[in-house]
Structure 1
Amino acid sequence: MINSIKLIVLFVAITFVSCKQDIANDSKKIASEESNHPSLILTAQGVKDIRVQLGDIPIFDKTLEKVKAEIDAEISLGIETPIPLDYSGGFTHVRHKRNMVVLQKAGVLYQILDDKKYAKYVKEMLMQYEEMYKTLPLHPKTRSYARGKLFWQCLNDSNWLVYVSQAYDCVYNYLSEEERNKLETNLFRPFADHISIDSPQFYQRVHNHSTWGNAAVGMIGLVMNDQELIDRALYGIKGVDLDKKAKDDDGGFLNKDGKAGFLANIEEPFSPDGYYNEGPYYQRYAMYPFLIFAEGLHNVKPELKIFEYKEGVLLKSINALLNLSDADGEFFPLNDGQKGMSYYTSALVTAVDISYHFGTQDPGLLSIASLQDRVLLDDSGLAVALGIKNGKAAPFNKKSINLSDGPNGKQGGVAILRNEDIELVFKYAAQGSSHGHYDKLSYSLYEKGEEILQDYGLARFVNIEQKGGGNYLKENKTWAKQTIAHNTLTQNETSHFNGKYEIGSQHHSVLNYFSSENENVQVVSAKESNAYPGTEMLRTMAIIKDEDFEKPYMLDLMKVTSNKANKYDFPYYFLGQVLQTNFEYKTPKTLNTLGSKNGYQHLYVEATAKAFNENSKLSWLNEGKFYTLTSLTNSNDELLFTRIGANDPEFNLRREAAFMLRRKNTKNTLFISIIEAHGGYSPVTESAVNSNSSIKELKVVLDSDAYTAIEITNINGTMKLFITVNTNASKQQSHKLNINKKAYQWVGPYYYTNIN
């Protein structure tokens, strides 16, 4: 009996010790799992480093103070999670969009300040979303090709989850296991499933929309340690069948080619130079999910070496994007782009900080961060703050640059020529996915960040509910995308590729040459052979700094070769007040439209003229600066002043002007022009300085298949000669040419000289 009791006691003791050991092991496992948070963007080590430096890192401390004040004010107002009802700009849309940002910031404040009121706030709001989402139907607005639940489109739902996943990571350890299970089961997993499995037409693409979706699914997967979601984010959904032509709400097509997921969205849209094929406006928008998810992958899955993928193109792309901005930091509105978007946006704060922290620690990025005057409240923001504090900042110098387009850099590109305060943006790229415009070989021109000749950009009032729910307006297709809306050639009042996306997406322009080695003469030349079958356009543009001119001037040569006679329209979308012309024009008593379709229906004709000189001149004043356009014309050319705004009953278009050169019944021809920036006017002193053009005459002295030569004579009688090589334009090729009984010999794709 005693022996039996001893055995029982011994068994119980062993069992107790064993159970105690199991409990200890389980506790260690839970503690180990919890110690991995935060790890997504703000890391546990980063929190420690930040706390040590607080109070001694000015730009970080300033940012933290502002964010704290902002979130404290939000907390005092209470939590509001309304039932979704509105389009962009509406109350419920704005509230849920605001909530996602507030959640992310509150989570960061909890970690840095170790104040549980922020974690409590995040928890309570997440629980409200969990309760609502369980029974939430599709959004009641039906316009989107992929409806969300919190928002009218899955895109905005993805925005929400990208931000909220960061908040969840920050409060993960604050929540109990039961609370985490509740959130993951009823909110996060169903949310990720809806924007991916339930919405393959949105998710299973190569597009900025899908990038947001991939990042959303992947980031919540990283926080939840859910490998299935991580794989779905990286590689797309397996076994999903899409219609070959499921139309999206941007007018593009979702062509099924088997490419989907985050890696495909890095591989396809970015060129090796980092140019994003949709243009800088959407590159700016997409950079946040690209970089924030990449940072999460780097921190949680370092073995993927995500910042090395495709030869480090994500970090390269930030440099490209910064170079796609003007002197004021505003992005050039190539393709669909809203003017005024700049590197002061929060997405570029993220881009600059991450690029500095994970890249080469370029001191030029620190100067931009200083201008932005805020940093991320995480590891990368700390690195930037320390760099600025330690005096490492240096100017970010924008120079002339040629950015290739296409996944292999073989689909045209965008060239930017810079000389002093003049910037020329020349687009010879691929279509630009569904956000592309039909504007091959178009350009815009700037001085000190102000437009001289403009690109219209997009027709949309982003997030202004009164204007089409803040979404794209019909005029984006009928006007902004059409060729006549751009500074390039329109043939027979028809847009390039007949305005058809499926045709335009198959073609791209081809670089003839780019030369920026000589800082005084910088040139780009490209050819387009598919916009109009049977017609080839070769455009050569130069920014030339010459001591006989006050400022660098722009020279533009468009050589057109066609197999039949056509009507050509060549517009210049200038901004400002007309001052003077060297031709007489007539103004109509009643305004009529220039045409009936392809954008022409949106142009009023304000004045008409016949060119009677070989040179037609137009001078105008804008932002206190004078400009003169000198165009080579003939007696059959029509000159038109037009203004945007016809057939626009809701006043969706800006009422801006253009000067247009029309040439009818012509096969092969040259459009040659120069734009001078000169002088200035002060309304304070009421004085005008150098308000007249310096050019006396512009003429063609040679035009052949191989060469085009232009002679420029200024008002002092000094003559300049510019020769461009139309074929065989390599930098090493030598050339010999006789013009007007004088021999010229040079090496390279162009030649510029004084000739008297």
Structure 2
Amino acid sequence: MIQFRKYLQARFFVLGMALILQISTAYSQEHPQLNLTKEGVAKIRAELGKVPLFDSSLADIKEEVDAEIASGIHVPIPKDFSGGFTHERHKKNFLILQKAGVLFQILNEDKYAVYVKDMFMAYAKLYPTLPVHPQERSYARGKLFWQCLNDSNWLVYASQAYDCIYDFLSKKERKYLEMELFVPFANFISEGNPQFFNRVHNHSTWGNVAVGMIGLVMDNDELLQKALYGLKTDNLTAEMRDNDGGFIKKEGQKVGFFANVDEPFSPDGYYTEGPYYQRYAMYPFLIFAQALHNVKPEYKIFEYKDSVLLKSVSTLLNLSDSDGDFFPINDGQKGMSYYSRELVTALDIAYLFGGQNPELLSIAEQQGKVTVDDAGLAVALGIRNNEAIPFTKTSLELRDGPEGDQGGIGILRNEGMELVFKYAAQGLSHGHYDKLSYSIYNNGNEIMQDYGLARFVNIEQKGGGNYLKENTTWAKQTVAHNTIVQDETSHFNGKYEIGSQHASVKSFFDAESSEIKIASAKESNAYKGTELHRTMALIKDENYSFPFVLDVMRVTSDSLHQYDLPFYYLGQLMKTNFSYDSPKSLEALGTKFGYQHLYLEGKGVVNQDNISLNWLSNDIFYTMTAVSDKDDELLFTRIGANDPEFNLRRDPGFIIRRKNVKDAIFVSIIEPHGTYSPVSEFAVNAYSNIKSVKVLQNDEKYTAIEIVFTNDMVKTLIIANSESSKEAKHMVTINAKTFQWNGPYYLSNK
């Protein structure tokens, strides 16, 4: 870093002279103009050596690009899936191209422009010779990569590099590159693959932006209009689907970039595919928005749909745990976080164009880097000037659907505990069949897990880094989640066409009280003739160290069924209060809808009103205490059956099974309550503080739950099942005691 500072100081005089020469012609130049602007370059050069975070970010990319320049130009014939050599080489190329272009503008050293030019010339020579990629798995094969999605990644980044060296190239060179590489590339992505380009999906967002970005650089309005509004005509049919089974295009559905902002984003900035894919799509959404703002301000893109693109960045940050890892809602790889390059870019742009929210600066400090452009400089200056304040994650509800009327995600937070309650729409082709599911975190550690996706992204050994078949047979299925399964069949029979037509309905959400954060929702379409109604509360009592979760799942049906309620706890089982038998050999619990991937490891019987499981995870004890029925079956499971290639994690599970009933209620408490020190070898408060849980009343109007603690304190929660408005007045008598209150629920203590 010291060497780099000396290097910057040595460059100041040269850059100063260059600036004098450029000032007289600055307004006649058109490039760079997308995300790095000529005005921005002047500001950056004036601040070099004075803004630590920007300087270190610049030093990092200089070191990386210099190493690549020394290694030469590598443009291999494409042949591999994700994770393979050719895939990773072309991926590295587009990342380096963009960085080298930036370095040329900021440092004014021709070697970076020469490198970009030489790389483009190599691609211009190769591209016309390429057929579609030899790997045939994708519904839309690319040329450089196995899918058009990655080709679009390449063009989004390459467009920025072209913008940076545009004036360095001669007219002849520009014409050659555009005719041999950029225009054919954009036409292949769009006209050549309408089933990819004319969609509402994160894939097509990348495709739209790729075509739009190169269109802006070349001042090609035809390409820009295709990007913004999609192809005017196409040959799509109802039978054309993506590789996850989702519909490509609905009848009369709008397409193009604006449609991909309109449809997947809710008014709250929630992206219906879930945070993992929202993170992935934020780069093209925000990078193109910034370019449109700079080049075509008449579109007022940052004001579009009530500034939803800017709003979505804070929304996405709130969809992460205390460590910054995104909640794995729908298809989501665990461990993906706001430290990703996409979020560095999105955050910097949101800061510059979204009112310079100082809370975003604290996340940028954690990220430890900024983009080396106009937006990154603004963030780095804010941090240098000590303007950062903490980004506070609170309990909140994020609505789903373009109008915010397709359910949502409820996030309840209290003293390190985070409860994520999902009552959202299907989530396009990346959605899972898990209505009214939930997951729980304690200071960033998963306690009750959502499995996420079955994929090892960019690891070639595992299916070429692509989705594994177990993503469909296990991860998407209802039994893979903490929610009700009826008759061992997934919600909507596991069919996207049905699930995409429905969303759950919120009953109420309230996070105003410090004592209780609570959300409630209903689902009446997952199973014909059956309604699910789940209420989840995060309750804190000053007598105990941790908040606990109360889960009330009501099921009403017009016919007899078997109901399974799984719990995917993470940790080592310590103790139960019921007996169980373990088989000598393991067999799968079922044959389809995910049951074929569950080993049955034990079967217990109920001999009391409450059952409990006690386990240890990350040196904290947890107990699940559940109301039980004498005929319940208690099943210990383990993921991994019928998985000879070991594609699935061998995580534990527990299922409460109730057979041959129409209506049912499942009530449980998940409670953190103690600690263990491996150093001192002391276990403190290792047993539950709950003495009993009881259903006092359960009917169409009210459900009342009584919780008795070991110190004999009693809490009673009453839920209004049919009238849940804040203004509604209620009165109910239970065991000769009358309760009166306003609103959808009542919590009493005695």
Question: Which residue of 1 is the match for residue 336 of structure 2?
Answer: 341
Query: Any idea what SS the aligned residue of 1:661 has?
Result: strand
Is the counterpart of residue 442 in structure 1 residue 437 in structure 2?
A: yes
Task: Name the SS of the counterpart of 2:667 in structure 1.
Answer: strand
In the other structure, the counterpart of 2:570 is: 575
Equivalent of residue 363 in structure 1, options 338, 358, 378: 358
The equivalences for 1:46-85 within 5 A come to 46-85=40-79
The aligned counterpart of 2:699 is 704
Q: Secondary structure at the match of 1:104?
A: helix
Distance in 1 between residues matched to 2:575 and 2:662, nearest whole Å: 31
Between the aligned partners of 2:85 and 2:304, the Cα distance in structure 1 is: 40
Where 1:724 maps in the other structure, the secondary structure is: strand
Residue of structure 2 equivalent to 1:548: 543
* Aligned positions of 1:422-571 closer than 5 A: 422-571=417-566
Read off the aligned partner of 1:469 and give its amino acid letter. Answer: G
| Residues 1:189 and 2:183 aligned together | yes
Q: Does 1:153 align with 2:147?
A: yes
Counterpart mapping for 1:726-745 below 5 A? 726-745=721-740
Counterpart secondary structure, 1:342: coil
Which residue of the partner structure matches residue 308 of structure 1? 303
Deviations for 1:525-544, whole angstroms, at most 9, x for unmatched residues? 00000000000000000000
Gaps of 5+ in 2: 1-21
8 Å CA contact 1:87–1:469 kept in 2: the answer is yes
Q: Check whether the contact 1:245–1:255 (CA below 8 A) recurs between aligned residues.
A: no
Q: Work out whether residues 603 and 644 of structure 1, in 8 Å CA contact, stay in contact via their aligned partners in 2.
A: yes
Q: Does residue 1:684 correspond to 2:679, yes or no?
A: yes
SS state at 1:650 partner? coil
Distance between the aligned counterparts of 2:596 and 2:52, measured in 1?
55
Please say if 1:587 is aligned against 2:582. yes
Matched, 1:103 2:97: yes
DSSP 3-state at the match of 1:631: strand
What SS does structure 1 have at the residue aligned with 2:602? strand
1:124 paired to 2:118: yes
SS at match of 1:172: helix
Query: In structure 1, how many angstroms separate the alpha carbons of the residues matched to 2:185 and 2:728?
Result: 60
Partner of 2:713: 718
The residue aligned with 1:322 is: 317
Residue of structure 2 in register with 1:175 after alignment: 169
- Deviation of 1:550 after TM superposition, in Å, equals 2.4
Is the Cα contact below 8 Å between 1:34 and 1:173 reproduced in 2? no
Q: 1:388-421 CA distances to partner (integer Å, 9 max, x unpaired)? A: 0111100000000100000000000000000001
In 1: Cα distance, 2:27 partner to 2:511 partner: 55
- Whether 1:331 and 2:312 are equivalent positions in the alignment is no
Structure-2 separation of matches of 1:455 and 1:61: 40
The equivalent position to 1:401 in structure 2, one of 396, 401, 404, is 396
Partner of 2:180: helix, strand, or coil?
A: helix
8 Å contact from structure 1 (residues 445, 453) kept in 2? yes
AA paired with 1:595? G
1:209-288 alignment, distance < 5 Å: 209-256=203-250, 257-288=252-283
Residue 684 of structure 1, CA deviation: 1.1
Give the counterpart letter for 1:616 in structure 2. Answer: I
Query: What is the aligned-residue RMSD (CA, Å)?
Result: 1.0
Measure the CA separation in 1 of the matches of 2:61 and 2:738: 69
Shift, 1:241, TM fit: 3.0
Aligned-partner SS, 1:730: coil
Structure showing greater Rg: 1
Alpha-carbon deviations, 1:484-520, whole Å to 9, x = none?
Answer: 0000000000000000000000001000000011121
Rounded Cα–Cα distance in structure 2 between residues aligned with 1:258 and 1:440: 25
- Superposed CA deviations along residues 31-70 of structure 1, whole A, max 9, x for unmatched, are 7897010001100000000000111101000100111111
Matches of 2:244 and 2:457, distance apart in 1: 14
Equivalent residue for 1:25? Answer: none
Deviation, structure 1 residue 572: 0.5
SS at match of 1:47: helix
Q: Distance in 2 between matches of 1:178 and 1:86?
A: 34
Correspondence for 2:371: 376
Question: Which whole-Å CA distance do the structure 2 matches of 1:664 and 1:33 have between them?
Answer: 76
- Secondary structure at 1:348 match in 2: helix
SS in 2 for 1:243: coil
2:331–2:431 Cα contact (<8 Å) kept:
yes
- Contact kept in structure 2, 1:34 and 1:172, CA below 8 Å: no
Match of 1:134 among 122, 128, 148: 128
Name the counterpart of 1:12.
none
- Counterpart CA distance in 1 for 2:528 and 2:356 is 48
Pick the aligned partner of 1:387 from 375, 382, 385.
382
* Structure 1 counterpart SS, 2:434: coil
The 1:170/1:34 distance shift into structure 2, 3 A limit, reads farther
The answer on whether the counterparts of 1:425 and 1:445 sit within 8 Å (CA) in structure 2 is: yes
Q: Secondary structure at the match of 1:440?
A: coil
**Which amino acid is the alignment partner of residue 361 of structure 2?**
L
Asked if the contact 1:458/1:480 (under 8 Å) is kept, the reply is: yes
- Measured after TM superposition, the shift of residue 255 of structure 1 is 2.8
In 1: Cα distance, 2:679 partner to 2:44 partner: 50
Q: Shift of residue 645 of structure 1?
A: 0.2
* Length, aligned pairs only: 726
Shift of 1:121: 0.5
**SS at structure 2 position matched to 1:555:** strand
Instruction: State the alpha-carbon separation in 2 of the partners of residues 674 and 370 from structure 1.
Output: 38
Runs of 4+ in 1 over 3 A off after TM superposition: 31-34
Show the counterpart of 1:18.
none
Paired residue type of 1:55: G
Counterpart secondary structure, 2:565: strand
Offset at residue 548 of structure 1 (A) = 3.1
Distance 1:242 1:32 in 2: 46
Identity %: 63
Match of 2:137 in 1: 143
Could you tell me how far apart the structure 2 residues matched to 1:702 and 1:380 are?
57
Work out the CA distance in 1 between the residues paired with 2:320 and 2:160. 30
1:114 equivalent in structure 2: 108
1:629 matched residue in structure 2: 624
